[in-house]
Amino acid sequence: MVTSLARRLLDRYQKGLPVCSRPYAVMAAELGVTESELLDCLLHLQQDRVITRVGPVFDHHKAGASTLAALAVPPERLKAIADYVSHFDGVNHNYAREHDFNLWFVVTAGDQDALQNTLKRIETETQMPMLVLPMEKGYHIDLGFKLAWSEDAR
């Protein structure tokens, strides 16, 4: 269940996280709760799979290397392969698509060699055909969504 604190947290901080030594304390103060309450709320949101992570989004071409990749996975192995791909530090999410290449993910690394090593390891260890689609041109999309809350959230 999404609590009132969780609603306010998600509405306020889809973007614009404080950049300081104690961002969660600043966020908590703004929302009128303790830092511990805020961290507990974030933990529950993650455990309930409402959110997957809290963190910055970097321009990976300035901070390292990245690419979009996809694997062609038999449907019966999709969950197991998705879980395996997600365990890599450089993969922060993956998602299924309706296509022959049905598991898509972004891989980031400190440099091009590390990126290629991760891609090769994923392809070798999964034994799945991989499609690698490096970004040719970047576009900044200022994502943030007005969330429609039902009245039953407390």
Is 54 buried (19+), middle (13-18) or exposed (0-12) by CB count in 10 A?
Answer: middle
Asked if residue 86 has pLDDT above 50, the reply is yes
The residues that bridge with 91 in the sheet, in sequence order, are 107
Please work out, in degrees rounded to the nearest 5, the angle formed at the alpha carbon of residue 53 by the alpha carbons of 72 and 145.
Answer: 90
How would DSSP label each residue in 75-128? Answer: GGGHHHHHHHHHTSTTEEEEEE-SSSS-EEEEEEESSHHHHHHHHHHHHHHHT-
Asked if residue 15 has pLDDT above 90, the reply is no
pLDDT in tens, 54-77: 877 666 667 788 899 999 999 999
pLDDT of amino acid 31: 97
Domain ranges (residues) in the chain: 4-47, 60-133
**In CATH, what class is 60-133?**
alpha beta
Beta-carbon neighbour count of residue 70 at 10 Å?
21
Asked if residue 154 has pLDDT above 60, the reply is no
**Are the CB atoms for 39 and 61 separated by under 8 Å?**
no
Q: pTM for this one?
A: 0.61
